[in-house]
Structure 1
């Protein structure tokens, strides 16, 4: 087995109903373990949950950096936003 194959993230295939029921646990597996979750509805693929860093690298590789919104949902009224790595704050 090549190194590239050994490092490939696990992709799980679930129905949309399973994703709704298990969302918190799936989100944790995506974030902390690096799994990709592909979900289906009526035999049609609907989407894929991937880790944030994977998504950012994919956007950069495709030259679509503008897709990356670094502001957290609700940040405008809650007074917080995700800090970029180079802003000097922890």
Structure 2
């Protein structure tokens, strides 16, 4: 069963990262947001996921590398299309 307390802590961490990236309270946020993420990740760490090294890396490849590869290919292929749409129809710079 999920604990709402930890969901709120994770949400505050996500908000802190967003605020840090857009420059609001950047210095203050940078003091704690990484510590918060490492603490929460360590709290939820379970050794059963790392007992078999092959399965651990296979799961990481499946969950992290493959989606990243797919989206990178998609955006690389359609980069010029998106750029043309952005410059052609959305931004009018005629004087």
**TM-score past 0.5 threshold:** no
Structure with the higher fraction of residues in helix conformation: 2
Q: Which has the higher contact order (CA 8 A, sep 6+)?
A: 1
When normalised by structure 2's length, the TM-score is 0.29
Larger Cα-atom Rg = 2
Structure with the higher fraction of residues in strand conformation: 1
